[in-house]
Chains A and B, each alone.
Chain A
């Protein structure tokens, strides 16, 4: 810690920071633009000017930029200095010269850093009397709106997009006061993290195009802490809702997970909540299984639906429950409680269920612990074994991209250049990057950042991994007959990992290969035996995959068996489209054999279409619940809007189903906390979930925390699309939040933060006030509870090394290739995101294509498990011979368990 002086008073500060960070951390309202906590300083905007004094005796001092001054011991600055203040005011005056002053019609209005800084610096009257410069805007695709005239040339967008996110299609053009930020010509921004521009841009140049489609003033957005429901990482989000729909997603800072940024799937999937295909009323379909009648499901009242459902349950020989990795722990548990432990199924195909258990066991038994995304960012050597992260766990790919800066930053530090001095660091390190080794089946979007990439079939990837483990530690089993080329890369990867201070090994379930997980574990353990604090990061596909795994249910196959054996005749299917999980034929047979199918879901799908009773479930936005992410962190998400019409949280429906036959009977679960308490008693490993957020009775100064911002236009405007009467706000008995603008005005525990706002700070930059130190930990600790912390025990290495992949002339190995846009079920329903979904295809390696005389775009009829698929060929240079790829989770290709055998 260093002691330094701001306006004459002493403060303690971390000397590795700069004076802008320190000033903000200590609560000073020092304005800035070009600096960003995740992007560092570049000194471009000159907004953070202060006066610096050499020492106590220096009365004169000089104007400097706080963001470029190290927080060294004895540093003295004045923020209040008259000239510094005048200068800061001038900066805004200059920035406003060409700004269109279109705040009343600007999407950013009311949440604009430029507005805030303008007010903060006191610039009020315009002296510039000449014409403004104007630019033409560009069409940047479905996510981002572009309005260049609002630009203040802070360069944040290109620094974020190019330097941080690795994008190469956004840049700065021209010079002097014509500097332009955009693309060389109109076109879709290709980077998978483009949506963050909306938050990175301090004014209204880059705004959320989906919000524009149903715009509402940002201070009228009701909001609650949420967790992204669209992959396994559990990024924290802040959805904003109005008039019964979700209008946008903002990033919610979680120091250990997503930090400041989300991926575009996470940001834009929300529109699925507002879709017309949402189920909003119960549906009855008495002869759902009678394909001859062509009868249609009919809406009915809640009481009626519940009665019919209960009747069916009571008349059942045996009821089985099928849970879901996209439903909350609470809903899964409520189902398990309803049908009994022995009849609860986790909703996963057997192979995936097994993989999940292997992954969880490796974490349970240790000694390698699960790495958080932050730990991946801070890693100084990373190995990715068999995941195309950008597609399977996008935000993790962004974290990996940062990790490669760590080693070169050390070089810079040795030359006296601190890590925050962004441009200087880049000048020092140039193209030098830290070790990142990727082993993948096909090209990945991180390859450009990698030290080396090997492309192999899954078995060979695993063998490559085992070889690395062996090279790290001699006790790990050797791999026989590894190609020399692979052995050489394995050797180099092993050295890089062993030389690192904080190595991380990443693997996951997307290739459907258990050996990959084991190989990854062996590497981590080998490193740990060499006293390297290696951590493991698993990639799992869905928001609650690990939750479903920890719930301990049986795989789908056993559900199918229970029915085909006649043991069970009724199923409750919770938020799960079985047609996406297993083969059509199996699902069809299963459903046909059931006397009763009760489905609870939010969006119509093929499974709900086959159910006798469908109950309308709340989405993440209308539910409270808990997801367990890839590091086994249980995290609570809260209702952003109260469910409307007949929609209820799934666990509530299940409570109603359990309560008996009479409609008037009390449901089993009155509040979320009841479910959590019961679950904690029943399933000790999940007990931590209870503490993932404060209980419903948590009050601060006797008040709950408001979902509506303090600047909310008021209750009379809440339903202005219908009428202006003042409705009584819904009562929330499940959480410490209220559907109101009234309540506690203090900063709540991190799990309950619904908005970033602080007096004078109306934009997302108010986040500074919600951190222990700027860019650091969430005030009040990181949200969520990690359910598994590994034992310290030393594990004996896995020894079952798979045989090398062998090509056969009769069949190909078909892999499911994942897509950030298209592979996940719910996000496919979001219109903007759907625009980015590619056409289904079959990927063929160059050699195979040549051998079979196939050209790019040719139509191929591929047979997988007896089903025929007509697909256009995409020729891939890296895909190994004998291996094909089809997009996972795409219509027509769902229900296939990969890898599968394919013929053509």
Chain B
């Protein structure tokens, strides 16, 4: 089985340096195409590969690049940005790539930047990823020294430099337009769309934002061709995917597998099945902002379209397993607490709706729940949906809620008898036990609560 993303990564070992990367065919794609292939051709090539974004939304990468204005009248300044904010709970795939093979990402970024003719690139990295930061900083230095970055890269006539920008926290920074604001040094509140970043992006200039994993696919695609890439996937979707599993499975971890690998195979074969004494109840397939899948979905191929048809999203492809001894309500409470805390505070439904959801779930967990709460929760699941809020944060936030209401309604009801959560240790139960205000961190001196 081919694993273009991870084949050279040895867990625990230091990141591949430039020499090792080049030894394994690294920067070959760059050397062969920069200056000789027309930028537009590069874009078509990626479009033909059917690569879909690995950041969560699954948008065609080549098509996104094709929205960037090109030619004489296009602005000279454009930006190519790598989204390395990875803060989606349950997600730990981009870190693996950056810590293992940073040059793979850099080469992908340079090729992408070449396709849209962007002289400047940024990697927007979450602050907590110190190891990734070190690996990337070193790799950028190496690439600069080797002439893969900087003026007139390898005599191609194309110049590009990449800057590493480390964030200061907040999950919303991963939303691509909020990310642009963060890069500009502002509050990371999402931007109005349209206009979309490929036309109006960083500092008002055309900008592409792609996920780390997405970009790590670029060099292999350019090197081996789109056909090769398309064949990597199972069924209709192209390429491989990093699938991760966390929760009470025997062997939590991360695997590069063909896109479309069935859920059962991932959980039972790769993650080793459930730990002794635990049964599978459900899974959030692609990070916190995706709908639960349950037993009936175990044979679902995990590709974008199939998961969508099953009522969820592939998201980041890193899944969190719910076992039979963990309270689904508690789990949803944990998720909604996260979302309530991370809302940027720009639009009403998200800013004020999610804390309400959080409080209701908290009350249900501690035995204060009421029958009408279900109605309020349902209403939120609906009214925080797509189009109703300013960005995709809130719709993502209510995906686990709406599916939990669908699949675990009984569990909710079992809380209503006044005694609270019927589940016990170890993963029991009353949220994580702190009042919400104390979990806010020392962020403002203005609030009193």
Contact = CB atoms under 8 A, between A and B. Distances in A.
Interface of A: 42-47, 49, 62-64, 68, 86-87, 90-91, 94-95, 97-98, 127-128, 130, 133-136, 148, 152-153, 155, 172-180, 182, 415-417, 421, 423-424, 427-430, 432
Given A44-B346, A94-B352, A424-B192, A182 B447 contact: no
A90 B195 contact: no
B375 to A, nearest CB: 9
Contact of B447 (A86, A87, A178, A428): A178
Contacts of A173: 444, 446
B438 interface: no
A34 to B, nearest CB: 9
A64 B389 CA distance: 9
Given A64-B387, A94-B356, A428-B200, A423 B447 contact: no
A362 B116 CA distance: 56
A290 B379 CA distance: 84
A856 B170 CA distance: 45
Interface stretch (B12-20, B219-227, B336-344, B406-414): B336-344
Interface-central residue, A130, A174, A177, A430, by most chain B CB under 10 Å: A177
A180 B187 contact: no
A97 B359 CA distance: 12
B59 interface: no
A133 B447 contact: yes
11 contacts: A43-B390, A128-B356, A135-B448, A173-B444, A174-B444, A174-B446, A182-B446, A416-B195, A423-B191, A424-B192, A432-B204
Contact of B387 (A63, A128, A135): A63
A540 B256 CA distance: 75
A43 B347 contact: yes
Given A417-B195, A428-B204, A136 B448 contact: yes
B351 interface: yes
Interface string B347-368: 1110111111001000100000
A321 B199 CA distance: 68
Contact of B349 (A46, A86, A155, A175): A46
A63 B388 CA distance: 6
A42 B345 contact: no
Given A43-B192, A417-B200, A175 B443 contact: yes
B344 A175 contact: yes
Task: List 5 tightest A-B contacts by C-beta distance, closest first.
Answer: A174-B444, A94-B352, A179-B345, A180-B446, A176-B343
B347 A46 contact: yes
Contacts of B343: 175-177
Contacts of A87: 383, 388
B194 to A, nearest CB: 7
B376 interface: yes
Interface of B: 170, 172, 187, 191-192, 194-195, 199-200, 203-204, 340-349, 351-356, 359, 363, 372, 376, 379, 383, 387-390, 440, 443-444, 446-449
B335 to A, nearest CB: 15
A173 B345 CA distance: 10
A837 to B, nearest CB: 30
B447 A174 contact: yes
B124 to A, nearest CB: 17
Contacts of A155: 346
B192 to A, nearest CB: 4
Contacts of A128: 356
Interface-central residue, B170, B340, B347, by most chain A CB under 10 Å: B347
B347 A44 contact: yes
Nearest to B394: A46
Given A97-B356, A134-B448, A134-B449, A175 B348 contact: no
Contacts of B356: 94, 97, 128, 130
Nearest to A64: B387
A122 to B, nearest CB: 15
Contact of B204 (A130, A136, A427): A427
Contacts of B383: 86-87, 90
A660 B130 CA distance: 95
A427 B194 contact: no
Given A43-B390, A44-B346, A427-B191, 18 more contacts: A49-B388, A130-B359, A134-B447, A134-B448, A135-B447, A136-B448, A152-B348, A153-B345, A172-B187, A174-B446, A176-B345, A177-B351, A177-B355, A178-B440, A417-B194, A417-B195, A423-B191, A423-B192
A364 to B, nearest CB: 46
A879 B203 CA distance: 35
B200 A180 contact: no
Contact of A46 (B344, B389, B449): B389
Nearest to A84: B388
A182 B444 CA distance: 12
Given A44-B346, A94-B353, A415 B200 contact: yes
B361 to A, nearest CB: 11
A175 B355 CA distance: 13
B125 to A, nearest CB: 20
A130 B354 CA distance: 13
Nearest to B344: A175
A152 B200 CA distance: 30
Contacts of A94: 348-349, 351-353, 356
Contacts of B344: 175-176
Nearest to A90: B383
Nearest to B440: A178
A429 B389 CA distance: 25
A423 B191 CA distance: 7
A63 B389 CA distance: 10
Contacts of A46: 347-349, 388-390
A176 B351 CA distance: 5
B203 A176 contact: no
A152 B345 CA distance: 11
Nearest to B368: A129
Contact of A174 (B194, B345, B372, B379): B345
Contacts of B204: 427-430, 432
A90 B380 CA distance: 9
Contacts of A44: 346-348, 390
B353 A42 contact: no
B195 A179 contact: no
Nearest to B355: A177
Interface-central residue, B346, B349, B389, by most chain A CB under 10 Å: B346
A175 B345 contact: yes
B181 to A, nearest CB: 9
A406 B414 CA distance: 61
B376 A421 contact: no
A127 B443 contact: no
A205 to B, nearest CB: 13
A246 B103 CA distance: 72
Contacts of A133: 447, 449
B230 to A, nearest CB: 33
Contacts of A180: 444, 446-447
A423 B187 CA distance: 13
A406 to B, nearest CB: 17
Nearest to A179: B345
Nearest to B181: A427
Contacts of B387: 62-64
A192 B425 CA distance: 61
Contacts of A47: 348
Contact of A98 (B194, B340, B352, B388): B352
A428 B355 CA distance: 33
A424 B446 contact: no
A182 B447 CA distance: 11
B195 A45 contact: no
A182 B346 CA distance: 16
A177 B349 CA distance: 11
Contact of B200 (A45, A172, A424): A424
B195 A427 contact: yes
A152 B349 CA distance: 12
Contact of B195 (A42, A64, A428): A428
A46 B346 CA distance: 10
